[in-house]
C-alpha cells in the first residue's frame, strides 16, 4: 500500500522519465530517503482507490537501488472496472 492507494498486481509498461540530475527532486529525495541513484519512472497498474474502487491507472514514482519505490501517485485513470 502506498499512501491512500494500493497497487493490485504488478506494474506494466515501465518507462524511465528522468535519471539523476535531470530530476528536480533529487536533493529532497536524498534528504528524506537516503543516497541512491534516483530515477523517476512511470507505468500502468491496477490500483485500489480509498473508496475500494479498482481501476487501471498510469502511475508515477521515484525509485533508487537499495531504497525501493517511493511516492507512488496516480497521474491518470485509464479505465474503471
What residues does each domain of the chain span? 6-80
pLDDT digits (tens, 9 = 90+) for 68-81: 999 999 999 998 87
Helix, strand or coil for residue 32?
Answer: helix
SS3 73: strand
Name the grid cell of 65. Answer: 537501488
What pLDDT, in 10s, does the model give residues 14-53?
Answer: 999 988 776 678 889 999 999 999 999 999 999 999 989 9
Instruction: Give the pLDDT of residue 21.
Output: 72
The confidence score (pLDDT) of residue 4 equals 76
* The pLDDT of residue 2: 56
Asked if pLDDT for residue 3 goes beyond 70, the answer is no
Q: What sign has the CA pseudo-torsion 58, 4, 29, 70?
A: negative
Q: Which are the contacts of 42, defined by CB distance < 8 A and separation ≥ 6?
A: 14, 15, 17, 58, 59, 60, 61, 75
Amino acid at each position: 500500500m502506498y499512501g491512500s492507494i494500493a497497487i493490485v498486481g504488478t506494474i506494466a509498461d515501465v518507462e524511465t522519465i528522468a535519471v539523476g540530475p535531470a530530476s528536480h527532486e533529487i536533493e529532497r529525495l536524498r534528504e528524506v530517503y537516503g543516497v541512491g541513484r534516483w530515477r523517476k519512472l512511470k507505468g500502468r497498474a491496477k490500483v485500489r482507490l480509498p473508496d475500494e474502487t479498482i481501476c487501471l491507472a498510469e502511475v508515477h514514482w521515484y525509485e533508487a537501488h537499495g531504497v525501493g519505490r517511493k511516492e507512488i501517485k496516480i497521474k491518470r485513470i485509464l479505465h474503471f472496472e
